[in-house]
Amino acid sequence: MEVLPTIPAASVDCVITDPPYILAAGSSNHQNGKTGTWADMMNAAYWYSAWYQQVWRVLKNTGSFWTFCNWKTMPIIQKAAFDAQISIQSVLVWDKKWIGPGGHQGLRPRYENVALLTKENFRIPDRSTPDIWESLWSAIKPTGHPAEKPVDLIAKIIQACELQSGSVVLDPFMGSGTTGVASMECDCEFIGSEQDTKWFKVAETRIQAAQSQGAKWFSARNPTPHEGGRGYRPPTTGESGAQISFIGEGG
C-alpha cells in the first residue's frame, strides 16, 4: 500500500479492484475464537478504509470505484466506506452461472458482489443498467490465480462507464492482471500494482500480450457501426495506443 500515495490526486477515471477478502475475518462463523470475530472484521475494515481514502484521493470527480466483495465481507466494506466518509451507491450482483461448493447445510453459492462507489460528478450513461449481471465463471483458471475474475465482466464495467479511449483505470490488487487485460481491450490506460512477484510477472506478461492484440471494443469517443453487439469489433492487431504502468512491490 506504499504505491497508492504516489499516484497524483484526481488522475484516475475508474478504479476496479478485487482486494484480498481477509477470509479469516470474513468467512468464519466462530463467535468466541481468536480469529473470525467481529473485532477482526473491524480491523480489516480499518485497513480497507485506509486504502479507500487513497482511492478517493486519486479518482477524478467524474470517477467511479468498483470493488469486489461478497455477503461475508459486506460488513467490512460498509464500515470501511462509512469511516472513509464515502457512500456505497449500488451493489452489483454478479451471477456466475456456476455453483460453488455449499457444504452440508448451505446453499450452493452462485453469485459474488461488486460494490459501486461514485464521485459527485459520475453519471451512469445508460440509466437502464440493472444491478444483476451474468458472466460465466470458470473453475479452470487460465493463469492459475485462485481468484482470477472473468475479463468480460471487467470489460462490461468499463463499458457501463463508457470510458473514452485513453481513460485511466487503476487496480491496486491486480493479481493475474485481469483488470489490465480488460483495460487494453477497451483501449484504456492502466495502472496496476501487486505485492506478489509471481503474480506481478504473470500480470505483466498477460497485459502486454493484450496490449499487442489491440483494443477489442469501441469507446464512446470512437463509435463505429458494429456487428457483434454494443461497442464490439473483432480483435485487431496492434491498434491500441493504450499505455500501461506497472508500479509497486512486485515490480
Ligand X SMILES: C[S@@+](CC[C@H](N)C(=O)[O-])C[C@H]1O[C@@H](n2cnc3c(N)ncnc32)[C@H](O)[C@@H]1O
Q: Are 250 and 197 within 8 A, CB to CB? A: yes
Residues 6+ apart with CB under 8 A from 47: 22
- The phi and psi torsions of 8 (rounded to 5 degrees) equal -60, 150
- Report d(CA 153, CA 176) in Å as an integer: 15
Could you say which of 94, 173, 190, 217 contacts ligand X (CB under 6 A)? Answer: 173
Per CB under 6 A, does 178 bind ligand X?
Answer: yes
Q: Judged by CB, which is closer to ligand X: 1, or 42?
A: 1
CB neighbour burial string for 118-135, b if at least 16 within 10 angstroms, e if fewer = bbeebeeeeeeeeeebeb
Per CB under 6 A, does 145 bind ligand X?
Answer: yes
Smallest gap from Cβ 147 to ligand X, in A, equals: 3
Q: Judged by CB, which is closer to ligand X: 52, or 199?
A: 199
Could you say which of 112, 148, 187, 204 contacts ligand X (CB under 6 A)? Answer: 148
Could you say which of 1, 42, 74, 124 contacts ligand X (CB under 6 A)? Answer: 1
* Burial category of 166 from C-beta neighbours within 10 Å (exposed 0-12, middle 13-18, buried 19 and up): middle
The set of cell numbers assigned to 251 is 515490480
Q: Judged by CB, which is closer to ligand X: 220, or 247?
A: 247
- Report d(CA 84, CA 70) in Å as an integer: 20
Q: Which of the ranges 55-63, 84-92, 173-181, 234-242 carries the binding residues for ligand X, by CB under 6 A?
A: 173-181
Distance of CA 126 to the CA centre of its chain: 20
Q: Judged by CB, which is closer to ligand X: 173, or 218?
A: 173
Per CB under 6 A, does 195 bind ligand X?
Answer: yes
Q: Which of the ranges 81-89, 123-131, 189-197, 212-220 carries the binding residues for ligand X, by CB under 6 A?
A: 189-197
Per CB under 6 A, does 251 bind ligand X?
Answer: no
Q: Taking the CB of residue 103, how many other CB atoms lie within 10 A of it?
A: 8
The set of cell numbers assigned to 162 is 463508457
Residues 27-66 that bind ligand X (CB under 6 A): none
Smallest gap from Cβ 31 to ligand X, in A, equals: 26
Binding residues for ligand X (CB under 6 A) = 1, 18, 20, 145, 147-149, 173, 175-176, 178, 193-196, 199
